[in-house]
Amino acid sequence: MNDDSFTVTPWDVTGPVDYAKLIKKFGTEPITPELLERIEKHTGPLHHMLRRGIFYTHRDMNWLLDEYEKGNKFYLYTGRGPSGSIHLGHVVTWEFVKWLQEAFDTTLLFQITDDEKFLFNHKFKTTKETYDLAIENILDIIAMGFDHNKTKIMIDTDNAKTLYNAALPIAKKITFSTVKSSFGFTNSNNLGEIFYTSIQAVPAIIESVWQKKNVPCLIPHAIDQDPHFRVSRDVLPKLGYYKPASIQNSFFPGLTGEDGKMSSSKADTAIYLTDTPKQVKKKINKYAFSGGQATLEEHRKLGGNPDIDISYQWLRQFFEPNDDKLKKIEDDYRSGALLSGELKAYLIEKVNAYLKTHQERKEKARDQLDKFLISD
Amino acid sequence: MNDDSFTVTPWDVTGPVDYAKLIKKFGTEPITPELLERIEKHTGPLHHMLRRGIFYTHRDMNWLLDEYEKGNKFYLYTGRGPSGSIHLGHVVTWEFVKWLQEAFDTTLLFQITDDEKFLFNHKFKTTKETYDLAIENILDIIAMGFDHNKTKIMIDTDNAKTLYNAALPIAKKITFSTVKSSFGFTNSNNLGEIFYTSIQAVPAIIESVWQKKNVPCLIPHAIDQDPHFRVSRDVLPKLGYYKPASIQNSFFPGLTGEDGKMSSSKADTAIYLTDTPKQVKKKINKYAFSGGQATLEEHRKLGGNPDIDISYQWLRQFFEPNDDKLKKIEDDYRSGALLSGELKAYLIEKVNAYLKTHQERKEKARDQLDKFLISD
């Protein structure tokens, strides 16, 4: 999506994102209180990302729940394009996926799109580079604690036989015109980029292919990836499959808060899962955009603004699931009782606790690779 | 290639083909007496399709022989798009491939492009249809008597992992502009058709991928397939591979001789490997275009014209390898000593003998499938 002030495409997010405009432009549905209530009936207490509107929009969630209530259980599909190290922006979505998986007791297909990254990124000269990144990223995914009995991880190049075969009928239904208008492709796009859209559509139907009956699919993803699945939703019904349902979150901001989302291309604004406690402390203290006042005196007098304060936003979006605690932080910050430095210290503690657990689990992840990876 | 009077593309051959014009337009090299001599040094007596100029043009055969003489042996690659039953037009090329394989003692990779046929042909609704045709066609290929120790048959959808992975770096180097200009693709082509060019290029390098060193490749094929390999020849050196060499034959004409090549789309003009002796007799007697005169008397007096007589042309191109016998047939036909009916009877005998052997071998081909097919 292009707008005077911001851009949101699967490959590019810049400028201050207007989420209300985006919902209109993309044509997704807002998540209403009624829908939240309906979800809660099945899951029990809602995840804070639902309560707080971090996951804020969807497609066909009511249909999905209709099917679920009829006993036609869905599976979850999400993905990762392995272009570099995993940062907090990625795990926000995945933690929610994990919650959904546990709350609805579903299977999950995690697609690692090493082919996509190779094709779309000039810096990669061989598919070995993107494959190595895929394995490295998978260790992080495993370290998040997914249940290997209910989670399959698919590496596109390893599972190319499955993907290519299932992609053929899809590819036959999509013309170059469609990807031109959906993604802004031109005659200079390479053949792999052009074909990739059909590969991308496969995981949303692969359980139906495997089970030889229609199985609903729910795709949780950051809102910028929506154009991919819009094409899938157009074409899959032509082949007799359900449209995949989806649920989208807003972006997890980088430390400086300048751009729409945390990005590996701006290393200082991202916190990686491999960062040390010292790095985390340094990055947050140095770069986390503050909504506090210029001096201690002014802050005590005027209070801070949590709405633009990245430390507060990170707590709200991810690191402080407890609503009461978050409310107190917000109130204290607005009143000036809580200083920026204190807020940052609290966040640093939370982030480092998260990373410590993650890094310990990752140590043991390599041994579990075989339990998660599927073979063709 | 489009011309006022004839068209030759990988998907369409119509009109009376001017092979001299075609060689210029496609930019291939004519096979010279010097090249024939050079080949003969290695193979012994030349195949009649070389002696008689049925295989009449090439790319880089001299380079291939340079490498061969240095001990850098080539492998052969040819293919089949399984859209229907095999007819004599197909086996002409394959018999020559078999001769090359035996004469140079090389391995052969036979690619069955079931994905291509599915993607390019509207009549196929599922990939199962093209896969079933692939297996059926492979039985015919096996029945031709290829040595399973030196021949691998690859079905694109079965070997999709190998093909897709090797195609990725190729696809990254080819833009939509290239396939637009090479094949006349438009924005209405489907994503699979567009990507297919990269899959098509893989078999020409797959031995190099497998052996992790550059292995020369020779592709014998009918001249209309040249545009595919022209793109391969452009892109493969950019990835450090050799350009594949190639050797091209002119078309085996249909019975009526009206169009450039025998085609399944005109069933009456083709003889299939499954045809019975009775069908063969009936088709040749009824449809084979004759260069003879209107009446017996005129024929005895004026003689026939073998240059336009399909029965004679089939003998020359394929069914009468003995030059002396062929010469006598030609002379007798020109003089009027040999009648059209007699010429046809001779051809019918030859065709039915060929088909009898083939059909007997095909009976036993299914048991040999596993020896030929490769798995990913």
The answer to whether B174 and B235 have CB atoms below 8 angstroms apart is yes
Q: In what order do the strands lie in the sheet with B108-112?
A: B29-30, B55-59, B245-249, B217-222, B75-80, B108-112, B151-155
Task: Please check the confidence at residue A5 and state whether its pLDDT lies above 90.
Answer: no
Distance of CA B304 to the CA centre of its chain: 29
Closest partner CB to B165 (pick from A127, A186, A191) = A127
Chain B interface, mutation test: which of A161, A183, A241, most B Cβ atoms within 10 Å? A161
Instruction: Compute the distance between CA of residue B208 and CA of residue B355 in angstroms, rounded to an integer.
Output: 37
Query: Do A65 and A113 touch, CB atoms closer than 8 A?
Result: no
pLDDT tens, residue by residue, B29-48: 999 999 999 999 999 999 99
End-to-end CA distance of chain A: 36
Q: What are phi and psi of B177, to 5 degrees?
A: -55, -40
Burial A187-216 (b: 16+ CB within 10 A, else e): eebbbbbbbbbbbbbbbbbbbbeeeeeebb
Q: For chain B, what is the mean pLDDT?
A: 94
Asked if the model's pLDDT at residue B2 lies above 70, the reply is no
Chain B residues touching residue A163 (CB < 8 angstroms): 164
Token output for B103: 């004469």
Radius of gyration of chain A from its Cα atoms, rounded to whole angstroms: 21
Q: B136: exposed, middle or buried (C-beta count within 10 Å: 0-12, 13-18, 19+)?
A: middle
- At residue A309 the predicted structure's pLDDT band, cuts being 50, 70 and 90, is very high
Q: Read off the pLDDT of residues B263-277 as tens digits, 9 standing for 90 and up.
A: 877 777 899 999 999
Is the CB of A190 less than 8 angstroms away from the CB of B172? yes
Q: Is the pLDDT of residue A1 over 50?
A: no
Comparing C-alpha atoms, which of B203, B195, B234 is closest to residue B219?
B203
pLDDT tens per residue across span A330-351: 999 999 999 999 999 999 999 9
Q: Do B165 and A177 lie within an 8 Å CB cutoff?
A: no
Q: What are B178-204's pLDDT values in tens digits?
A: 999 988 899 999 999 999 999 999 999
d(CA A286, CA A272): 16
Do A111 and A79 meet the contact criterion of CB atoms below 8 Å apart? yes
Q: What are phi and psi of A116, to 5 degrees?
A: -55, -50
**Distance in angstroms (rounded) separating the CA atoms of residues B154 and B376:** 9
Out of A172, A173, A189, name the one closest to residue B175 (CB): A189
Collapsing DSSP to helix, strand or coil, B37 comes out as: helix
DSSP for B188-229, written as a single string: TSBHHHHHHHHHHHGGGTHHHHHHTS---EEEEEEGGGHHHH
The tokens for B202 are 């893989």
Reduced to 3 states (helix: H, G, I; strand: E, B; else coil), residue B46 is coil
Size of interface A-B (CB pairs under 8 A): 124
Residue B88's pLDDT is: 95
Beta carbons of A179 and B191 less than 8 Å apart: yes
* Binary contact (B164, A163; C-beta < 8 A): yes
Domains of chain A, each with CATH number or no CATH? 7-250 (3.40.50.620), 267-363 (1.10.240.10)
Whether B165 sits inside 8 A of A157 (CB atoms) is yes
Amino acid A19: pLDDT:
87
In A, minimum Cα distance to B167 occurs at: A192
Q: pLDDT band for position B354 (50/70/90)?
A: very high
Interface confidence (ipTM) of the complex: 0.92
Residues 6+ apart with CB under 8 A from A133: A82, A83, A84, A114, A117
